[in-house]
Structure 1
């Protein structure tokens, strides 16, 4: 389906997202906020979004709507996810971590950590997002904000940020799986989960997914120890646990060429080498198809060190070529995060409220959907900024 065929109006989406709002003024403010995220240049602070049309009065109104109002974000996210599922036909749900650098220490959940992308220790918020992803586009549909134990133990900070009593500290593995379980419970089409778990306890993620019946494709580090189900496949007589990198190096003769399309502006066709080795896995969850075995997938380029990527999956009924194409959806999400989510201000919330952060992330995800499905981010005219509807320019 082309970008034109996927085009939608923000008004149509807004009527879907805010159907649970009992008051018309809340529905109107929701539309205003999405318009502001799409039309405001630069940082998407509430002040910047309010400046062109209402000044301080509108700023106060939008601030209250996001930080102090009573509406809950989960029904809005569920409506967004269902809309995207109907429109995009996702091939997988991609889990992606989002790090938000912060200058101060008052933003909810902020803590100091080393940020590899910045090469320094910074104050940051960290969240995990679930994206409905297809080859042509992807949209974030759920978010989970990490709250460190120091915040939960500090009564004053917890009250000031209005952190609910139900919130507890979670490991990265728990956070990723819980974010996905919420999406599963919305009744969306069953699709595999794709994620990069190289910096996590990958086997913990695998066990959690398998116990929940979530089929998955996970990128792993070469040091993860696995046991080949058929030792002869890699030239060994008896099964023993070996680093994944060593297993796949021994499977070099199993490599086959696979053609895939990258997510560059040119959408170039590329060829990679792919090999699969069956691995002894955890016991299957009740009702899950197949046995406990999994596949270790190696991906590399001809003439370069083999393998350059390692993936572990319980999708044993898919071909290595199909698994390669699913793995490329991480690149699709990374590109859309940079070119759309960042541009509509997904990391720009400056308030201290836990609820405010989640409401902003939800509305920024909706703005991402408008831009991604219309395929026209940056071409909206003045009606987008000031009108009652959100539409594309011709």
Structure 2
């Protein structure tokens, strides 16, 4: 089956999850536009390329399909996964990768936009942020869940919620809470229990880590150097004996010689022999190698952690030989028998989701949506993932790693008609006949002297000033 026929077959499979088969045209047109090599993949330029002879009508239909039509993002993402996941090889292991990505914005009306940290810019700025979960294996990965993070200022503003079409059941939730709910929903649908990977923005949240453990999931998450742990061989004393009055004591006791330390202090105190050079995969130019140590610790920081003695887990430390102190820290509940090489490979599998975001933004227009509503934002992202899923499936069938060339499928945009004018451009000037200044005046008209130039218009003090908004 050639690529065009397989794409049609893929679209026919996805459209069954949209509620109405008459949405096949919108689905196919939108995904086709996202896969074309266009510099801007908002609705109008895509419509002009997908159907150049009926650009205006196509623009209206695609806009309705993405911004107004009622169809389920979750159902479409589920069908994308059903198409792609069977092609993924999990014999060497699988991972759930959690992360968030930002979309810089100029205005303040797009749903969820506010001044917050934007990973794309590496600083606080005006942007939208969405949380996603990807399913990954060694050969590739696929986003399977996606939700916009709704800041407090939006969640508590009823007028803005109504205008942006935010569903009533969407309340404020932190990014770790959103991710944890996405994982719960996936498991409820029968998803496998793979190890969860996340950066320090999620890993420092004790409730997030405990929530994963409660779901029966192992994790490998980044943490900051300030996280406090009980070092190997050091544990608090048992709680005070129960006196028979009030609640039984549960907080472990500390002494001057039995104190937890932050992970940076622990790492600096380890001997050089604890660190080993480990390679985890081939990079662009050479094999990626680093210096690592792994020790068994118990978390001790925070009020929750003090209330009871937590189980042991791995602390993985990455300390480049040319740096004065460690660079990264990870906590993991992978089995105690896990080899150091496997811990390192798991910790660095997060690059897959970064590649997802890169491909989705650079090649499939993930950040190009210009609407302001909740439904359109999520529909556009879902359709970008649908287009990405087809390309991922083709690479997996070809047996090529998803880290290889992205443009394995040649995509050409049809030319625009010669008379095409995009919206917002100055309209064509209407043809006008030559003005005859010597023409006879109509009967009853009074002649007046004509100056060579028109006098400047004088505005009176009472004239209102035009204000642009």
TM-score range, shorter chain: 0.7 to 0.9
Deviation at 1:340, TM superposition (A): 4.2
1:39-58 pair list within 5 angstroms: 39-52=36-49, 53=51, 54-58=54-58
Gaps of 5+ in 1: 1-7, 283-290, 387-394
Tell me, in whole angstroms, the C-alpha distance in 1 between the residues paired with 2:55 and 2:344: 50
Equivalent residue for 1:4?
none
Mark the CA change 1:343 to 1:381 in structure 2 (over 3 Å): closer, same or farther.
closer
Q: Which of 31, 34, 40 is equivalent to 1:34?
A: 31
Query: Deviation digits for residues 216-252 of structure 1, max 9, x if unmatched?
Result: 10011111111125239xxxx9642211111122234
Aligned to 2:291: 273
Q: Distance in 1 between matches of 2:223 and 2:95?
A: 18
Per-residue deviation, 1:380: 4.3
Match of 2:167 among 158, 164, 167: 164
The TM-score, its normalising length taken from structure 1, stands at: 0.84
Identify the residue that residue 71 of structure 2 maps to in structure 1. 71
Q: For 1:188-213, what per-residue CA distance to the aligned partner results, in whole angstroms no more than 9, with x for missing partners?
A: 22211101024774323212222232
1:372-387 aligned at under 5 Å gives the runs: 372-375=392-395, 377-378=406-407, 380-381=409-410
- Distance in 2, matches of 1:30 and 1:385, equals 18
The residue aligned with 1:186 is: 189
The CA deviation at 1:171 is 1.4
Match of 2:266 in 1: 247
Query: SS of the residue aligned with 1:107?
Result: coil
SS in 1 for 2:216: coil
Structure 2 CA distance for partners of 1:313 and 1:98, relative to 1, 3 Å: same
Give, in whole Å, the separation in 2 of the partners of 1:159 and 1:41: 33
In 2: Cα distance, 1:351 partner to 1:225 partner? 44
Structure 1 residue 372 displacement after superposition: 3.1
Taking a change above 3 Å as real, the CA distance of residues 117 and 100 of structure 1, as seen in their structure-2 partners, is closer
Instruction: Evaluate the alpha carbon distance shift between residue 120 and residue 187 of structure 1 in structure 2; reply closer, same or farther with a 3 A threshold.
Output: closer
After superposition, residues 288-307 of structure 1 pair within 5 angstroms as 292-307=311-326
Indicate if the aligned counterparts of 1:137 and 1:336 stay in contact, CA closer than 8 A. no
Deviations 1:167-194 (A, max 9, x none): 0111122122222222222322221110
Does residue 116 of structure 2 align to residue 88 of structure 1? Answer: no
Distance 1:103 1:200 in 2: 31
Hey, what's the Cα distance between the residues in 2 that align with 1:244 and 1:174? 25
Deviation at 1:383, TM superposition (A): 7.6
In the alignment, the residues of structure 2 paired with residue 123 and residue 132 of structure 1 have an alpha-carbon distance, to the nearest angstrom, of 29
> Cα RMSD (Å) of the superposition?
2.8
- The answer to whether the Cα contact below 8 Å between 2:106 and 2:126 also exists between their aligned partners in 1 is yes
Aligned length: 366
- Indicate the larger mover: 374-383 or 337-346: 374-383
Report if aligned partners of 1:219, 1:310 keep a CA contact under 8 Å in 2. yes
Do 1:340 and 1:377's aligned partners in 2 also have CA atoms closer than 8 Å? no
What's 1:256 paired with?
A: 276
Map 1:87-106 to 2 at 5 A.
87-89=87-89, 91-106=94-109
Task: Tell me, yes or no, if structure 1 residue 213 matches structure 2 residue 202.
Answer: no
1:345 has 2:365 as partner: yes
Bigger-Rg structure (1/2) = 2
Q: Structure 1 pair 84/186, CA: closer, same or farther in 2 (3 Å)?
A: farther
Tell whether the 8 Å contact from 1:94 to 1:133 is kept in structure 2 after alignment: yes
| Structure with larger RCO (C-alpha < 8 A, sep 6+) | 1
CA shift, 1:68, in A, is 0.9
Per-residue CA deviation, residues 94-133 of structure 1 (Å, 9 max, x unaligned), is 1111111111111111112354653665321111111112
Instruction: Give the Å deviation of 1:269.
Output: 2.0
Which of these residues, 143, 147, 158, is aligned with residue 140 of structure 1?
143
Q: Which residue of 2 aligns with 1:230?
A: 233
Report whether the alignment pairs 1:314 with 2:317: no
* Alpha-carbon shift at residue 331 of structure 1 (Å): 1.8
